[in-house]
Every structure is written in C-alpha cells, then in structure tokens.
C-alpha cells in the first residue's frame, strides 16, 4: 500500500459517519424489534425517537396484505443469513407512504444464528412518483394502441361504480404459436395488428384491452348472441399474410356483470376459466360461463366475500374430536376442527374454507380464533383438574408470519392455558416449506421448548414423510386416513402401515392412526402397536359443551 493510502484510509467510524449522513439507518434485534434509528429516518418517517423504539420491522410497512407479505419475505430472506436489496413502500407515522431502496443486512453469531439486522435506506419517493406518471402513459399497449391490463382494471372498476351492466369478454387466438411459427418472423406483428383491427371494427366504441401476447378483453354492453357474431365477421374479413387468408379462429369466455361476477378479479378469473374449458374441448368457440363452473366460482367468490365478516358475525365454531390413548386406555386428547355454517351458503367444510382463507389472508384471523377457543377450553379443563390435551391444526401461511410464535404465547398467557396442554398439527405441505425457511423451524423449536408438542399430520401422503421426522421438531406422527381405510382390504397397505409404525417407533415417535371407522380396524391397529387412535369409531367431532 502506498503511504498515501494509509493517510486516506478511512476508519470504520468515518464510514459509519458518512453512511449515517446519507442513509436512513435502522438497527433491529433478531425478533425485528427496533433498537435504534438515526436522524434521517426520524425526519422522513415522522416518528419520535421514543415512540419508534420497540416497534417492529413489519409495523413500518403498510397494513396491506401485499406489503405484509413482502415484509415477511424480506425478513425470512435476511433471517436465513443473506442480504436483501430492493425497493419497498413504507409508512410514516401519520400513514403516508414513502418509497425507499432498502439494503437489509443480517448479523449472525458464530453459530450462524441471527443476532441483529441493520437497514440502510434511501428515499426514492420522487423517482417512484415519476415512474407512476410514466406508467399512466404506458396504460396503452404500444404495439396495438389498445388498453393495457392495468388500464382495463381501472375502466372495469369505473363501469362497476357507475352501475353499468356489461359482458366481460375474454378472447384468445387459437393455435397462435403454431400459426406464428409457420410464417416468417414479421408475420407475428401483422397478425396481431390485423386482428386488433378486426376487433376494433366489430366491437367499435367498446373498451378493448390486450392482456397477453394473443389475449384480449372486450367490455361489451351486448350478450352472447352479439359477441358470437365475431366468428362470422372473422370469416368474412380474413387476415391475409402473403396474400393467403389465415385460417384463424378464436376461443373465448363471456362473463356478465353484475349477474355472474361482481369484481374485476372475479370477472377475469371466471372468463379465463371459461376460455380454458373451451380450449380443452377443441377451441373455436366463444361461450358463456357454464352453469356448473358458474356455481363453483360463485360459491368460491361468496365464501371469499363472506369470510371477511364471519368472525364479527360470530359464525365460526370449533368442534372437538377425541383421540384414544392405548397405554392409558382412555381419551386423553381432543383435536380442534373449525366449522362454518352460513344461512345462504350452507355448510362450508374446512377443506373449502382453509384454502380460500390462505389465499385471501384471513387464515391468520381464523387460525387465531380456533387457537383462542382451544386454549380457553384447555384452561377450563385444567381448572377442573381434567388431564386432557387439545391439538390445533395450523397452516403454513400462519407460520410464515414471524410473529406467529409471539401470538401463540400471548394466547396462552391471556387464556392461562398451560402450554403443555396444547399441541399443534402440521401437514406435509407445511413441513416442506418449514424445511426451507429457517424462521419457521426456529419458531417451532422455541414453542417446543415451552412445552408445545408438534404432530406431523396426514403422514405418508407426501414425498418425504420420513425425512421430516428427522429435520423438524416433531414428536408425533398421524398416519393418514387413506391408509386406514384400505388396511383390511389391501395387504400392501397393511405392510406399508406396519413399516410406518416400526420406523416411526424407532425414531421415538408417538404414533396416531386417524380415520378409524370400524371395530376391525381398531383391533388390527392396536395389535400393530399404534399409540393412539382417532376416528368416527372412537368419536365424532363434537361441541365443547357436549364433552365430559
């Protein structure tokens, strides 16, 4: 090194000093609680030094699903020991948004565990505002001059607000890629241009958007009879490439607003589903939503909509299904299962409810509700001196929230349910993701240390059941009911279950068999050495008030 370099060599302090001068700096502990921030951050975020301390990483993000999902994914990334860099939207104390380029840096201890996280951020709100303006200009598809998908969404929402009735028509050119590949490269542009031209002529003043390479949406006041006329129009006005008329047909779906679907997303999804059905049946048709898929989509959309108020309206219930412990010779556990009955929609099974809740984010509220009910019951039983455990099903989406552990601890505290009375069931789908994300395993371990046991549910249905026994903190496995159902009729199944029991035991697991419906199944499984049994033969799910 030259002497000059030594003179100029900046000290760590100098570096920190300049960083502090230009960047917003935030230091957090491994749980994401803010320990300190610098002046730049306070200025832009409007927070006072006292109030911001102890707030969490997530609370600095907008309270929307999208932002929270992003915040969690950033945290998971950093918690796994990697830096994260990118643009995020954050909220000031008075709920105004601002945008930053964020560099999140984890500090790990020698054992590789997360110790703290530092954020360096630059305010880029002005740039983003400029970009948004540019995007507005880009609301037009440059190639065709049609609206873009973004613009379409706005227009649909405007039509909905002004209470107009319309058909949402989704059209796609059949065999587009084959068509395009069998012609010279320039033909592609020509096909799209001429096709757009036909659309404009046929649908005239109606809003038309290009939503994919060869996918278009038209909002038309007319119904099926008019839209279907587009086929004849295409035949009469063929598209020529090199003086040869293209054999061009379209497939499409028509969904009516407000009769069929009521939001942009639902209209779009339904029209797409209908189009896919047409294509699967050979294409070349534009049809309305079929009665069957109409029913299914409507039910899904209604469940989605009603779920948002289901908790306020006290419509969710929890029932409990007993589990028989062989060594004790009695029932020692009840599994909590969610129930929802609606006047209009009838009985909504958990298999319908849970996936939709996972999709719309309500799973956190639903899960917390079930857990609270279960913990309350646990505490009640404890007061009465009953030695009964309760297990609760959890969804992976709940654990991607790094506050899940904390939430569970709070529920245990407020209900004063002893932690070792509560158990959690996780499915194989969950196990797979848990293995990928350290923060999930981390949370599971900490809960286990408190006395909460984990069961691997639906055992045997996934690819890696046995591996999860080693990699995750679980002490129990529950052999799925599909195996139990054929255990008496299929010798192979019996061998398989026997293998699961033996291997599980060799790993020190407590083995539960679920879905026992007959005495024969019960006797056989006891003989095979399971530790516990569950199923209609032992008892159906029942209300808490009917237990005991």
Question: Which residues contribute to the site for Ca ion (CB under 5 A)?
Answer: 393, 425, 457-458
- For ligand C2E, the closer CB: 27 or 482: 482
What CA–CA distance (Å, rounded) separates 223 from 220?
A: 8
Q: How far is the CB of 367 from ligand C2E (least distance, A)?
A: 6
Q: Taking CB within 5 to 8 Å according to partner kind, which of Ca ion, ligand C2E, none is near residue 361?
A: none
Q: How far is the CB of 379 from Ca ion (least distance, A)?
A: 21
Residue carrying the six token digits 């929609």: 345
Q: How far is the CB of 389 from ligand C2E (least distance, A)?
A: 15
447 contacts: CB under 8 Å, gap ≥ 6: 405, 408, 419, 424, 454
Q: Taking CB within 5 to 8 Å according to partner kind, which of ligand C2E, Ca ion, none is near residue 220?
A: none
Q: Taking CB within 5 to 8 Å according to partner kind, which of ligand C2E, Ca ion, none is near residue 79?
A: none
C-alpha 370: how far from chain center? 19
For the purposes of burial, counting CB atoms within 10 Å of the CB of 96, is it exposed (0-12), middle (13-18) or buried (19 or more)?
exposed
DSSP-assigned beta bridge partners for residue 61: none
The candidate with the shortest Cα–Cα distance to 235, out of 244, 220, 246, is 246
Q: Taking CB within 5 to 8 Å according to partner kind, which of ligand C2E, Ca ion, none is near residue 536?
A: ligand C2E
CB neighbours (10 Å) of residue 493?
17
- For Ca ion, the closer CB: 364 or 476: 476
- For Ca ion, the closer CB: 207 or 378: 378
- For ligand C2E, the closer CB: 59 or 517: 517
- For ligand C2E, the closer CB: 462 or 515: 515
Q: Taking CB within 5 to 8 Å according to partner kind, which of ligand C2E, Ca ion, none is near residue 149?
A: none
Indicate the length of the chain as a whole number. Answer: 548
Q: Taking CB within 5 to 8 Å according to partner kind, which of Ca ion, ligand C2E, none is near residue 153?
A: none
41 contacts: CB under 8 Å, gap ≥ 6: 24, 25, 26, 47, 52, 121
Q: Taking CB within 5 to 8 Å according to partner kind, which of Ca ion, ligand C2E, none is near residue 312?
A: none
Q: What is the 3-state secondary structure (H, E, C) of 316-354?
A: EEEEEEEEEECCCCEEEEEEEEEEEEECCCEEECHHHHH
- For Ca ion, the closer CB: 298 or 461: 461
Q: How far is the CB of 539 from Ca ion (least distance, A)?
A: 15
Q: How far is the CB of 396 from ligand C2E (least distance, A)?
A: 9
Q: Taking CB within 5 to 8 Å according to partner kind, which of ligand C2E, Ca ion, none is near residue 370?
A: ligand C2E
Q: How far is the CB of 457 from ligand C2E (least distance, A)?
A: 5
b or e along 505-524 (b: 16 or more beta carbons within 10 Å of the residue's beta carbon)?
Answer: eeeebbbbbbbbeeeebbeb
Catalog residues that contact ligand C2E under the rule CB under 6 A. Answer: 321, 337-338, 349-351, 354, 367, 370, 393-395, 425, 427, 457-458, 481, 515-517, 535-536, 541
- For ligand C2E, the closer CB: 268 or 459: 459
Helix intervals (H) in 138-167: 149-161
Q: Taking CB within 5 to 8 Å according to partner kind, which of Ca ion, ligand C2E, none is near residue 391?
A: none
Indicate the pairing of strand 422-426 with strand 453-459: parallel
- For ligand C2E, the closer CB: 146 or 336: 336
Q: How far is the CB of 364 from ligand C2E (least distance, A)?
A: 11
Largest CA distance in the chain: 89
- For ligand C2E, the closer CB: 428 or 437: 428
Q: How far is the CB of 433 from ligand C2E (least distance, A)?
A: 14
Q: What is the 3-state secondary structure (H, E, C) of 74-116?
A: HHHHHHCCCCEEEEEEEECCCCCEEEEEEEEEEEECCCCCEEE
CB neighbours (10 Å) of residue 296?
13
- For ligand C2E, the closer CB: 217 or 362: 362
Q: Taking CB within 5 to 8 Å according to partner kind, which of Ca ion, ligand C2E, none is near residue 394?
A: ligand C2E
Task: Quote the tokens at residue 269.
Answer: 């999804």
Q: How far is the CB of 319 from Ca ion (least distance, A)?
A: 13
Q: How far is the CB of 201 from ligand C2E (least distance, A)?
A: 52
What CA–CA distance (Å, rounded) separates 515 from 535?
A: 4
């Amino acid at each position: 090194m030259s002497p000059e370099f030594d003179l100029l060599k900046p000290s760590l302090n100098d570096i920190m000093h300049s960083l502090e001068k230009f960047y917003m700096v935030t230091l957090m502990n491994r749980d994401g609680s803010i320990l300190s921030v610098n002046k730049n951050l306070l200025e832009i975020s409007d927070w006072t030094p006292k109030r911001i301390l102890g707030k969490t990483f997530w609370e600095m993000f907008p309270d929307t699903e999208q932002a929270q999902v992003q915040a969690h994914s950033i945290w998971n990334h950093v918690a796994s020991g990697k830096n994260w860099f990118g643009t995020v939207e954050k909220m000031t104390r008075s709920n105004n948004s601002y945008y930053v380029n964020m560099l999140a840096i984890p500090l790990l201890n020698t054992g590789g565990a997360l110790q703290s996280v530092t954020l360096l951020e630059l305010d880029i709100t002005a740039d983003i505002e400029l970009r948004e303006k540019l995007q507005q200009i880009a609301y037009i598809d440059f190639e065709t001059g049609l609206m873009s998908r973004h613009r379409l969404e706005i227009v649909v929402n405007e039509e909905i607000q002004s209470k107009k009735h319309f058909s949402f028509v989704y059209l796609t050119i059949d065999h587009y890629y084959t068509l395009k590949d069998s012609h010279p490269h320039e033909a592609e542009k020509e096909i799209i241009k001429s096709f757009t031209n036909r659309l404009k002529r046929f649908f005239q003043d109606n809003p038309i958007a290009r939503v994919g390479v060869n996918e278009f949406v038209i909002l038309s006041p007319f119904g099926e009879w008019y839209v279907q006329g587009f086929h004849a129009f295409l035949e009469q006005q063929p598209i020529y490439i090199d003086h040869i008329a293209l054999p061009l047909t379209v497939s499409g779906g028509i969904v009516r607003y407000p009769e069929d679907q009521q939001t942009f997303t639902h209209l779009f999804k339904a029209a797409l589903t209908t189009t896919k059905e047409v294509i699967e049946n050979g294409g070349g048709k534009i049809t309305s939503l079929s009665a069957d898929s109409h029913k299914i989509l409507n039910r899904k959309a209604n469940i989605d909509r009603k779920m948002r108020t289901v908790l306020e309206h006290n419509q969710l219930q929890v029932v409990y299904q007993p589990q028989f412990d062989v060594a004790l010779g009695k029932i020692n556990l009840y599994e909590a299962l969610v129930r929802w009955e609606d006047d209009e929609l009838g009985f909504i099974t958990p298999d319908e409810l849970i996936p939709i809740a996972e999709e719309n984010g309500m799973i956190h509220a639903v899960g917390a509700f079930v857990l609270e009910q279960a913990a309350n019951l646990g505490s009640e039983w404890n007061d009465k001196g009953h030695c009964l455990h309760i297990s609760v099903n959890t969804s992976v989406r709940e654990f991607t929230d790094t506050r899940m552990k904390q939430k569970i601890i709070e529920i245990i505290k407020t209900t004063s349910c002893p932690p070792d009375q509560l158990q959690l069931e996780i499915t194989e789908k969950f196990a797979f993701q848990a293995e990928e994300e350290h923060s999930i395993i981390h949370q599971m371990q900490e809960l286990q240390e408190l006395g909460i046991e984990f069961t691997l549910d639906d055992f045997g249905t996934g690819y890696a059941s046995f591996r999860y026994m080693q990699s995750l903190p679980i002490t129990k496995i529950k052999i799925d009911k599909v195996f139990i159902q054929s255990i008496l009729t299929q010798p192979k199944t019996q061998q398989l279950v026997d293998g699961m029991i033996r291997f599980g035991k060799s790993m020190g697991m407590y083995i539960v068999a679920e879905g026992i419906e007959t005495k024969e199944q019960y006797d056989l499984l006891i003989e095979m050495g399971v530790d516990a049994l569950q199923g209609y033969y032992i008892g159906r799910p029942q209300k808490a008030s009917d237990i005991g």
